[in-house]
């Protein structure tokens, strides 16, 4: 509830107190370690320390069978890769996440994110 309250306090996304959210996720991981908490923690870490720090934390989940094939891991990886400027890898991760989810609205959203990162066709000189 505390994490949700911090999100709610921000009038704009850029006003979110990500450092406080990150610290709360650190506490939550200590109390109830599970891959979904770590997944959310990776987003907060990325917002505080940069996309690469979040991606480094995501790598710790790759061998965890509880989440390794889950579309949310791929979607978060895609988002962080996009933040890092690696649009080709982000596009691939969005596409993988879209294939793995069974939710049609999520598929449409993830496909749209991937399409947004398509390289424009080169015009002949």
Range of the domain at 77: 69-118
Asked if 61 and 34 touch (Cβ cutoff 8 Å), the reply is: no
Q: DSSP letters of 58-85?
A: HHTTTT-TTTTT-HHHHHHHHHHHHHHT
State whether 75 and 53 are in the same domain: no
| Local structure of 88: helix, strand or coil | helix
Pairwise CA distance, residues 42 & 18, whole Å: 11
Q: Is the pLDDT of residue 26 over 90?
A: yes
Residue (of 16, 15, 36, 14) closest to 25 by Cα position: 36
Residue 78 lies in a domain: yes
Residue 125 lies in a domain: no
- Enter the pTM of the model: 0.88
Residue (of 119, 55, 120, 59) closest to 91 by Cα position: 119
Q: What is the pLDDT of residues 60-114, one digit of tens each?
A: 999 999 999 999 999 999 999 999 999 999 999 999 999 999 999 999 999 999 9
Residue 40 lies in a domain: yes
């Amino acid at each position: 509830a505390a994490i949700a309250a911090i999100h709610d306090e921000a009038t704009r996304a850029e006003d979110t107190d990500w450092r406080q959210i990150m610290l709360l996720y650190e506490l939550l991981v200590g109390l109830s370690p599970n891959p979904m908490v770590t997944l959310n923690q990776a987003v907060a870490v990325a917002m505080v320390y940069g996309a690469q720090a979040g991606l480094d934390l995501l790598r710790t989940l790759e061998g965890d069978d509880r989440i390794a094939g889950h579309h949310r891991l791929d979607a978060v990886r895609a988002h962080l890769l996009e933040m890092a400027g690696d649009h080709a890898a982000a596009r691939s991760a969005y596409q993988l996440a879209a294939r793995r989810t069974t939710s049609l609205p999520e598929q449409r959203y993830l496909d749209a994110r991937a399409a947004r990162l398509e390289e424009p066709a080169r015009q002949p000189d």
